Every structure is written in structure tokens, then in C-alpha cells.
Amino acid sequence: MDRKEARKRAKELVSKMTLEEKASQLRYDAPAIQRLDVPAYNWWNEALHGVARAGVATSFPQAIGMGATFDPELLKEVADAIADEGRAKYNTYAAHEDRDIYKGLTFWSPNVNIFRDPRWGRGHETYGEDPYLTSRMGVAFVEGLQGDGETMKAAACAKHYAVHSGPEAIRHEFNAEATKKDMEETYLPAFEALVKEAQVESVMGAYNRTNGEPCCGSKTLIQEILRKAWGFQGHFVSDCWAIADFHMHHMVTSTARESAAMALDAGCDLNCGNTYLHILGAYKEGLVTEDQITESAVRLFTTRFLLGLFDGSEFDGIGYERVECKEHLELSHKTALESMVLLKNDGILPLKKEALNSIAVIGPNANSRAALIGNYYGTSSEYITVLEGIQRYVGEDVRVYYSEGCALSKSRTEGLAVENDRLSEAQIAAENSDVVILCLGLDETLEGEEGDTGNDYASGDKQDLMLPEAQRKLMQAITAVGKPVILCLMAGSDIDMSYAAEHFNGILGLWYPGARGGRAAAEILFGEVSPSGKLPVTFYESLEELPEFTDYSMEGRTYRYMKGKAQYPFGYGLTYSEVRVMAAAAAEEEHGASVRAVVKNCGNMETDEIIQVYIKCMDSAHAVPNPQLCAFKRIHLMSQEETEVVLPIAKRAFTVVDDNGKRYLDGRQFEIYTGVSQPDERSFELTGARPVRVEYTRNFEG
């Protein structure tokens, strides 16, 4: 059923409803209308990295880890698997008349906000700091989730529209001020791509205000940009209880009725929260019209018809056996392998099992389930921590010593013990081992969403880039033992790795790798697979070079605007081999341009590698300061294999944005860089290779 037919059916159905019935359907927990055979429907479901909060489901790596794969094709497969499990759950739950929260087919994912500041606790829900990477990954996720069948497999949601990335503690009252240039250049592109390219079915507004207007009641964002400029046809949903913020925190209205009216008048169709319980009161006061209520109801039922919830669909036969099936578990495993980023290796990796008698696996995240799953997760029927993954891999051939070493953030693991009560055990384990695998980092209790974390002092945000003090003391204690150390960092954001880089032999970033991610970690550590992930965010030397957290100006932020050297740059990540771009040439194409690159694996191990293309406009005053990502492709090469890769560059990559927010073709002289990293000096220091630089003159017009 196409949208035109679905809307026609929706209008027919809604026309039979009373005003009260129509208003009731604008709530996330829409009640049944029995006389019209309309069942109850709960719109609230989550699928950030697997079906969440409704029991067992395949647990994929957290979104930031999926961003690190630089693999949209894989992400589309992941989203298709999630939709499969969502359908399986919906079909079986509905058969039991269970229509509770988290059991519908409208998933409030993906999060395509820009991770502009490393302090933001929810940054790991995103695909990173770059608008182009975020748009490619987001489009793939939406296409995979919604499918291309006769009916929509599941409905995706682009959130949180549009300028939202902390601080969490003040998000309900905060006004994010962004220039028109920053809006068009950084904050809006991913949302635009999801609407125009992927036809995302819904968009969720953010809690904060943007340039004075609350996002869930912004005529600028919802009507002028989303619907008129981009042609969005789906439904708009508020973040949860965000409309209540209008009168409780933003103080742009005085009553709940006024807030409901402001949101509905701006075009917010669905209320996650309870403020739309006041819609009828707002109607009686003349604040909204029946036509407005009707239009939102029609949009919402259009989505339900597109999902085949009234006429049936080709997905009704998907059974519960698809939930956490072998195929999906292997897909999660593959994603975890592709997501892990090797930051440092002095030659210690990969480890050779036959050369080891004993290993020490130490740290608060070594045997932590919480560090596997990030936030917005489902339940796994099995968890494989890093410790368990290593134990399974080496079997009885290698002795594995384990020590927690310290608590995640507290000064002791036992309440009656003295501070640092596990340090001596950690040192003893290290002394008795040939090599130490030190598992440090965070979990959702230290970085996450306001209200969901134990990090009360910052409501889920980080105050700095340092590991907790207890973990820093553990690092020093292990260093003092003098054994080789490999740090496995489990976190969803930039963590200061300066001490580890100086004192440890290897650093492997695992992100939050999914419920069974310890298996993938072991296979990477022991060289079954070469690491191939790339950083989707910048690791900064310090926060001193960044503007205030509340400053939404992009000046000095992310790799595209930063002025100093990164600790570890966006796009950086080592492999166990040595892939190089030997030559590259750019040519004009109908769609814009393309780069043809000769790539060779000069090393001794087969590996995946991410070929990256960056572009810099040289003759426009409005150009982004640094070269920015415009194309990328994951490839696999055997040892000594050489191949040719063609990477298309869209015309949009050649545009600039002026101070009025106008995007257009301006400059004609460009530099295009093709390599395995971005073309900054720090990446050259770390990799020993520079991307191939090509001067290019644009001849095409818009």
C-alpha cells in the first residue's frame, strides 16, 4: 500500500470517529475504539541497537560502535534483522492481546544528533561527530528497518530534531543557539537525508529550545523546514514529557492546555507524555481546531495502515523463532568485530596463544555485563564478557588470572575495606602472567541519559575526559609491575588515553560491543580477525581547546573545525596489516565526481580497511576550515593484494554554506585526499602514511 492509499484509508476511518476519539489517538498509549474495531496501540518502542525493553532480543553493539564500522551496508542488514525481531515480537504479543509499551512496530530510532562535544552522556547513541557519516549510517538504518516491501516492515524515527547534544542536566529548560550556517552545515544534514532519501516515517522533537522555540512546538523546525522545505509526509512525535516542559521549564506557555495547543499548532501529531490529555480542554478554549486534531489523527493512522496493522501484511508470518536466532547473533558478532578500533600497537598484537603460559585479565569492565550493552538495550539469553571471551578462546592451554582491580568509580569494592582494596590482587595477577589485558572505561551508569544514570552530579554527562580516579590508580599499579599491558577501553565516547599511550603496549577500543561482545574482543586480540574500525569521533588532548559545553557554535569543535592536534583523530584506526593508497585520480561524473584509487595491502595479514576521501574547498570564503569526509568504502584485502576502488563524490560535497544558511556551489578549486585516515598531521604521525592528494577543478554547475 502506498502512502496515498494509506492516507485515504486513514481519512475514511478517522471521519467515523468522534472528536473525543480522535483526540485520544494522539497519545502514545492510544486506547482501543471498539465500535470501529480499532485495537489499542502503544507507539513507544526502542531499537537503537536491537529491539529494546521488551524481553529477549539480539543485542548489537551500541550505535557509536556501529558508526565506527563505517559500513552502511552492514548497518542496513542489522536494521533489517531488528525489524525482523520486532515483527516476530509484535505478531506473537498481539496474538496474546498484549499491546503494552515497547511491543509495537514504531521504533524511536535512530538517533542522528551530532556528537559535537565529548562531554555529552548520550553521544554513544549516535553515529559520531560527522554529518556525512551520520547521514550515510542513518539512511542505511532507516532503509533496513522500514524495508521495501508492499507494507512497511517497521517504522523508523529520526531523533532528536534538531539541535540537541547536551547538557543533559538542563535539557528541559535549555535554549540551544545555533547560527543559520551551523544549522545547515552541521545540525540538519542527517535529518534532511533521512527524510529525503530514506523517507523516514517519523521524526521526534528534542527537549530543548532551538533559537528560542521549543523543538516540539517550533513552526520553524516542523513546518517551514521539515514539511515545506523537505517535504516530510510522516508523523511528528514529541520526546517524552517534552511538551510539559513548555510551561514547567521553558516558560513559553502558562498552562498545560496552552502547551498542548502550541505543540499541535506547530504540527506535533503524537505526544509521548500526558499533556495531550488537555487537547479537548484546549479545543473548548478555542486554542485548537477540530481540523488540527483530525489532521494529526489522519497522519498517525496513515502510519498504522502503512504497517499493515488493519489489513495484514507479508510480515504476519514471521514467527518467534526469529528472535535471537543464530543468523542474527552472527550478524551481531560481525558488527562487533568491525566496530573495534585499534588505537595503539607496538607489535604486541595480535597475541599468540601458543607463546603464552598465562594471562591476567584485570579491571572493572573485564567481567561486566553492563559494559557490554550501553543503554536502550534488550535482554540477551547469554552474555560473554571480555574475561569470558578470553577464557573460552584459550581454553585450558593458557592459565587466565582475573582481578576486578577496582570498582568502576568508587574508591573500594567492599564497603568495610580500605580504599583501593583490590589493587594488590591486581598486581599479584599481573606478576603471575606473561601479559595483562586491562579492561577499563565506563558504562551507562557514568555516561547516559538524564534520569537513567547513577552519575547524578552531571545527569549522565561527563565532567571531564579522565577515567575515574580508582581506574587511574589501577593503571599506575599495573604499570609498576612491569609486564606488557594491552588496554581494552569500553566506553562510548572520547576518554583521555595519554597515560595509556605512554605506558601501555597496545590500546583497543571496544565501545559497548553488545551482549556477547567478549567473543569478538578475544578474536581480535588473538588475531583471528584484524581490527578495522575507525574513530567516528575525535579524541581530544583536553577540554581546554573546546568552547563551553552550552555553546552550540561549531567553531573549534570536531575534526572539521578544530585548530589543534587530536590525541586520536576522527577516522583513525590501525589494522594488523598495512594498507596503503598507492595512487588516486579524480574525475567529473554526472552525479558530481569520483575518485579512482589503487589500494594495496603491503602487510602480511588479510584485513578489512576503510578507504576514506576528504575534500577541501580552496577558494570560497564560506568553506569549512578543514578537509571533510565526502566518501568512504570498506574493502577486504588479502596479504599483498592490490585492487582498484571507485568512490563516488556527490555534488553536495562541493557546496558551501554562507552565513545566511544558504547552501550553494561557490568555489571551483578543491583538494581531494584519499587514504586510510584524514589528511591531518596527527594521523600521519600515528600511521606513517599520508593520503594521496589531488588538485581538482570543478566544472559542473548545480
Active-site hit among 239, 443, 608, 666 = 239
Residues 611-667: tens digit of each pLDDT = 999 999 999 999 999 999 999 999 999 999 999 999 999 999 999 999 999 999 999
In 64-116 the beta strands, taken as DSSP E runs, fall at none
Class of domain 3-320: alpha beta
* The pLDDT of residue 456: 61
* The pLDDT of residue 454: 62
Contacts of 216 (CB under 8 A, 6+ apart): 205, 206, 207, 238, 239, 242, 243, 246, 263, 266, 268
- CATH 3.40.50.1700 domain span(s) along the chain: 340-537
* The pLDDT of residue 598: 98
Residue 232's Cβ-side half-sphere holds a number of Cα atoms within 13 Å equal to 26
Per the annotation, the verdict on 619 as an active-site residue is no
- CATH 2.60.40.10 domain span(s) along the chain: 579-697
* The pLDDT of residue 669: 98
- Please give the Cα distance from 695 to 162 (Å, whole number): 35
Vertex 470: Cα angle to 366 and 432 (nearest 5): 50
Other Cβ atoms closer than 10 A to 37: 9
Is residue 81 within 8 Å of 378, Cβ to Cβ?
A: no
Is residue 512 within 8 Å of 374, Cβ to Cβ?
A: yes
- Please give the Cα distance from 170 to 698 (Å, whole number): 45
Which string of b and e fits 218-237 if b means at least 16 CB within 10 Å? bebbbbebbbeebebebbbb
340-537 carries CATH number 3.40.50.300 = no
- CATH 3.20.20.300 domain span(s) along the chain: 3-320
Ranges of residues in the chain whose predicted pLDDT is under 50: none
Beta bridge partners of 696: 670
* The pLDDT of residue 450: 87
DSSP secondary structure string for all residues of 296-335:
HHHHHHHHHHHTTTTT--TTTT--GGGTT-HHHHHHHHHH
- Please give the Cα distance from 681 to 193 (Å, whole number): 31
- Please give the Cα distance from 249 to 247 (Å, whole number): 6
Residues 259-291: tens digit of each pLDDT = 999 999 999 999 999 999 999 999 999 999 999
579-697: what fold? Immunoglobulin-like (2.60.40)
User: What does the chain come to in residues?
Assistant: 702
